[in-house]
Amino acid sequence: MKRWLIITSLLGSYLLFFNFATLEHFFMEVEDHFLIFIAFLFLYLLVNLFPFTIHGEAFTMSLAITLPFFLEYGVFAEAFLTQLAHISAFIALRIFSIERIAINLLILLYTSLGSGFFYYYLGGELGKPLIAYTSHDLFLVILYVLAYLLLNRLLVKSARSMLNKEKMENFFAEDFWQELLTYVILFPIGFIIYGLYQMMGVGSLFYMAFPILAFSYIFRLYHQLQELNHRLSRLNEISQFLTSKLQVNEVVKELIQSLQGLAQYDFAYLFLVDEKRHHLAPVAIDGPAVTPEVEAVFLQTPVPIGKGLSGLAAERQEIIRTTKSRREAHWEHEPLLFQPQSSIVAFPLLINRNLFGVLTLSTQEAGVYSKRDEMLLGILASEAAIALKNAEHFEETRKRAEVDEMTGLYNYRYFERQLYLLFQELTPNSTMSLILLDIDHFKQVNDRYGHYAGNQILQHIAQLMQGEVEALQLQDAFVARYGGEEFVVVLPEYNVDQAYEFADCIREKIEQSHIQVCNDLECEGTSEENMEEVEITVSMGLANYPQHAEDPLSLIRHADRAMYIGAKQAGRNKVAVYEQG
């Protein structure tokens, strides 16, 4: 609907333009000056083929061509020349986005007409010899050029604001002053061409063609080098940020955010390798059109390694760049968002041929990603792979330091640190319960069956408790090995009654368990004749914040007291709640 509205607006504007141009006998003038018009059009087209970019905005030296043409032939001639030159440039540059072309042509048409009629309104004259120009005439031309600049910028900003549904950016941002500087440079060049044309005719355009194109190319090269330097500096900052992150999710977040100032894209996708399932697991997506719904769809769309563009980049371990084509089969296995995209590039995240993931960028605009983009984003992909490796190594090291190797539960170090962190987040209206569990007569089990059997019992109880805690789906709840045959469960948001019910459920399940262990200290196998069923019971103590304690140490101490006095000394196989006094 939006595309057809834009196209209809352009066609309607053209209809009005040609109607008024015909009434002003413009096309008769074009016929009379056909060769001159073709010469200006050719030079304008050459200039458009050498754009330079300033802060993401594309500029050309077109003012040096349109200014003398306008001063000699008027607003309809300048508008017609501008439209034809840009249509030709879009074809030459292989830009076939109908919506983008229509918007640009509309903006250029109304910029030409608006600034031109403004010049007429001020009393500006056409075809006046340059030698006869007064300071007043020069002032009117300067106002025309400023009107052209301001009107064009206003229309561009308004179009982006309406199409992207965003607030209009700062009108006088840094890129405005850069554009104004180019106009200041091009203004005298346009006047020189105007004077030479009046003296020498169309031949003057050929004399000016080489210096204009050379200046355009040098200016373009200068700004490309300036942009490259800026992007390399930005890349260095990003690399430092990435390598300073010690968690995988932090690296992922920083990587996605860093792309916003480094590359053009409608969507940026990040996949991490899932070696067990042999596919790329989607972990992050970014882009101006990304909504929670879009993100949810993306995160549920894994890409098989070797299938689709991202999958091929993972399998071949090389950068793959492509444009939209019916002959290419990468759409089938990519997220659905890829399908309307015209330019896609995928970067494998590699270290010494070890694959960590794939970073993929896409945009509707054709031919966006260059070799320079591949180089810069390839460096970023390498830095991201190093950061991911460091983060994974750190998380594995921390996990080994915080997890009890025998039971797979968190150890006392993690429990103590996490409990103190949870207490820092508590408010007077918060509640949290702590359950301490001890296996009854565990020393007798070790004495009779040996420590290997004791370890089997510890592992069984650990798995049971871990499953019960996970089933709660309670944020920040966890179970840890407190020490020896003791375990601890932390239940944020659980009051005494809820925690007691949960603890008693665990107690009953442990009591009803039938744990098979070796019945001989010297048994070497686990055949049925060497196994014996053991019945186990546990004693549990419960304390609550804020009902029983207001700090972590008191909470642990009171749960411990409840377990020994209220459960152990009361006959074991019980859950006891701390009683004050």
Dump pLDDT digits (tens) for 397-423: 777 788 888 999 999 999 999 999 999
Let me know: does 234 contact 261? Beta carbons within 8 Å.
yes
E strands along 199-353, which residues?
A: 267-274, 279-286, 303-304, 320-323, 343-351
Distances 119 to 73, 74, 83, 336, 532 between C-alpha atoms, Å: 13, 10, 20, 50, 103
Q: Return mean pLDDT, the chain.
A: 81
The distance of Cα 217 from the centroid of its chain, to the nearest Å, equals: 33
The string of pLDDT tens digits covering residues 178-201 is 778 878 888 888 888 888 888 887
Q: What is the pTM of this model?
A: 0.54
> 476 in helix, strand or coil?
coil
For residue 30, what pLDDT is reported?
Answer: 61
Q: Nearest 5°: phi and psi at 94? A: 60, 45
Q: What is the pLDDT, as a whole number, of residue 451?
A: 84
Pair of tokens at residue 211: 């210096």
User: Among 13-27, 148-162, 360-374, which range has the highest average pLDDT?
Assistant: 148-162
Q: Got the DSSP string for 169-182?
A: PPTT-HHHHHHHHH
Tell me which range, 179-183, 236-240, 441-445, is most confidently predicted by mean pLDDT: 441-445
Average pLDDT over residues 258-277: 80
Asked if 317 contacts 348 with a C-beta cutoff of 8 angstroms, the reply is yes
In 3D space, the residue among 290, 298, 237 whose CA is nearest the CA of residue 262 turns out to be: 237
Give the three-state DSSP class for 444.
Answer: helix
Q: What is the pLDDT of residue 171?
A: 67
Indicate the pairing of strand 279-286 with strand 303-304.
antiparallel
- The more confidently predicted of residues 298 and 492 is 492
Model pLDDT, residue 96: 62
Contact 217, 223 (CB under 8 A): no
- Please choose, from the candidates 576, 573, 574, 571, the residue with its C-alpha nearest in 3D space to the C-alpha of residue 543: 576
Consecutive H or E run containing 448 = helix 442-449
349: its two tokens: 């995240």
pLDDT in tens, 165-176: 556 667 677 667
Three-state DSSP class for residue 297: helix
Distance CA 426, CA 546 (A): 10
